[in-house]
Amino acid sequence: MSARRPAGRWRGSSEFRLRFALIVLAMVISVFGVRLVQLQGLDPKAYAAKADAEGLVTVPLPATRGSITDRNGVALAESVSGLMIVADPKRTDEHAEEIARILANKLDLDYFDLLSRLRKNPAKPDARFAYVARRIPATDAKAAVAAIDDAGFKGIDTRLDPVRDYPGGDVAANLVGFMKVPDEAGTGGGLERSFDGLLAGKDGSETYEVGGGNRIPLGENTEVKPVDGKNLTLTIDRDVQWYAQRVLRTAVQGARAESGAAIALDSRTGEILALADYPSYDANKPGAASKDDLGSRALSDVYEPGSVEKVLTMSGLLDKGLVTPRTRVRVPHQLPVADRVIHDYFDHDNLRLTLAGVIAKSSNIGTVLAARQYQPGQLWHYLDLFGLGHRTDVGMPGETRGLLPDPSTWTELTQATASFGQGVSVNALQMATAINTVANGGELISPSLIKGEARTSSGDEVGTDVASRHRVISQSAAEKVSKMMEMVTTEGAGTAPAAGIAGYRVAGKTGTAQQVGATCGCYDGSLAVSFAGFAPADNPRFTVYVVIQKPQGSASGGGTAGPVFRKILTYLLQKYAVPPTGTKPARLPVEW
């Protein structure tokens, strides 16, 4: 039989354990008590400051920028998935050089700029958040952060940050513009700049607690949600824009010219279907482009329009009832005016032309003689009504006003040269709008680049819903001018039969003008060659204007710009299935 342990021994052991536990508990409570007294009474400010240093971090929640689309909803600029790379300077400061080197190599960013962002800011030594890079494609950002993690460095993280993408590359880039990185100086260009307030939306923010460099899961957390930007719809047809840019590029390169512009308008509404510039650039890589190529030359460059302006001179004369298309003019081989001598671009003996012939043959002398029918100030008045000297205000930054000299300064010579497009200056959209006035039955409709109505960042209301109209010439005068312009594209009569389109009645006008050199302030021998017109001539649907600046070698409005006009206009008529009117073309006498 086994021996039993005395009961009293068990009882004593139990009492001992209880007493020991009470002693340990009392010691723990004492430690907490001392710590509490220390926190609340002895040095509360020091510990509060330490808590703040660990404390709250505020990070942005970027709004998604609105898209810019063409008239059919095709994206020209949109926001796609991207990330920002951010840093905790307290954790990256020690290894800033190594981290900056990795990011610079992975993301092709400036090493020294990265270095400054990764180091502590002396003005904010306790800051726990800093931008390192914005709008980085998600795959690139993740790969860069992974490389930093693999190297054993801490303090780098990512946040959502939509990336601006331009799917068409250079398509409408001179209009749409580009975005700069948010924390860099500048606001980009083009419509991205003009409508930044509409497109940008409003960023939100999130504030949360961190401890030991990490977010505290159940700590304080507040959020202000972002408000996404609104979309902007253009009147541009992406397909027409793409085609116009390609045709224009080929012509400018073929002529070894400095630049060019091509504009296509809906004749009835003034909506801009294409506004092409060359040279252009890839809006995804604006930094790789020349600064001169980033804007729209069609709006910013001014030049003397040359013979295309003769359409405006004749329009005013017909509107006043001073002439008819059959009015006869004796055209000498040269014409003295004040202290100058006016010549035609072609050598000739004395000619007997009708005014339709003056337009068809593009005679400077014949135009000057016809313009003598005007009373003082009348030609200026018509040019003013046609929009010369006035911005079109379509919503693009950098648009020029052009130059229409004050009527009080006009002399006999001013009147003469202005009548055939020298001594006045325009931008390409101004000239396209003026020619479209004839196509639109004599009523000028302000051109539109924006569908509906939108407000620019400077507060201007623009768009198709606020387009203005005013009558410049009578419908009868516009119809007569249209028939005179048809003779330009008529085989055997005009200067540009190659600009005609089989089966359609096409109204057109060539232009060749001397240009003033930037250095000498004088005519330096360079030219601007152009072509403007519309079709069908008797029921206009589209107006196209093309100008090519400073071509080399042999160049002319009909031979250099005319083919671009014909190709773009043909494309428009086919794309929009515009049938020929089936009426007989104009047949006006050009000589007598």
Q: What is the pLDDT along the chain (592 residues), one digit of tens a residue?
A: 444 444 444 455 667 677 776 776 767 676 666 555 554 555 545 544 444 445 677 877 888 999 999 999 999 999 988 898 999 998 999 999 999 999 999 998 999 999 999 998 888 887 888 889 888 888 999 999 999 999 999 999 998 888 889 999 999 999 999 987 555 544 578 999 999 999 999 989 888 787 766 677 767 788 899 999 999 999 999 999 999 999 999 999 999 999 999 999 999 999 999 999 999 999 998 988 999 899 999 999 999 999 999 999 999 999 999 999 999 999 999 999 999 999 999 999 999 999 999 999 999 999 999 999 999 999 999 999 999 999 999 999 999 999 999 999 999 999 999 999 999 999 999 999 999 999 999 999 999 999 999 999 999 999 999 999 999 999 999 999 999 999 999 998 999 999 999 999 999 999 999 888 777 777 878 999 999 999 999 999 999 999 999 999 889 999 999 999 999 999 999 999 999 999 999 999 999 9
Q: Are residues 363 and 415 in the same domain?
A: yes
Phi first, then psi: give them for residue 438, nearest 5 degrees.
-65, -45
Q: Are residues 292 and 367 in the same domain?
A: yes
Q: What pLDDT, on the 0 to 100 scale, is given for residue 50?
A: 47
Residue 30 falls within a domain, yes or no? no
Q: Are residues 101 and 229 in the same domain?
A: no
Q: Are residues 136 and 244 in the same domain?
A: no
Domain closes at, from 176, 204, 234: 234
Residue 185 falls within a domain, yes or no? yes
Residue 40 falls within a domain, yes or no? no
477: CATH: 3.40.710.10
Q: Which domain holds residue 143?
A: 82-108+129-160
Contact 436, 541 (CB under 8 A): no
Bin 357: left if φ > 0, else alpha if -120 < ψ < 50, else beta. Answer: alpha
Q: Are residues 258 and 324 in the same domain?
A: yes
Give the whole-angstrom CA distance, residue 59 versus residue 43: 31
Among the listed residues 448, 444, 425, 423, the one whose alpha carbon sits nearest the alpha carbon of residue 435 = 444
Q: Are residues 366 and 504 in the same domain?
A: yes
211: CATH: 3.90.1310.10
| Domain tally, the chain | 3
Q: Are residues 542 and 560 in the same domain?
A: yes
Q: What pLDDT, on the 0 to 100 scale, is given for residue 182?
A: 54
Residue 591 falls within a domain, yes or no? no
Measure Cα distances from 564 to 103, 278, 401, 539 in Å.
47, 13, 26, 22
Catalytic residues: 307
Q: Are residues 62 and 135 in the same domain?
A: no
Measure Cα distances from 567 to 48, 97, 174, 542, 545 in Å.
75, 57, 21, 13, 12
Residue 31 falls within a domain, yes or no? no
Q: What pLDDT, on the 0 to 100 scale, is given for residue 40?
A: 55
Q: What pLDDT, on the 0 to 100 scale, is given for residue 111?
A: 94
Q: Are residues 220 and 260 in the same domain?
A: no
Q: What pLDDT, on the 0 to 100 scale, is given for residue 13?
A: 64
Residue 247 falls within a domain, yes or no? yes
- pTM of the predicted model as reported, rounded to 2 decimal places: 0.84
Contact 201, 63 (CB under 8 A): yes
Q: Are residues 277 and 140 in the same domain?
A: no
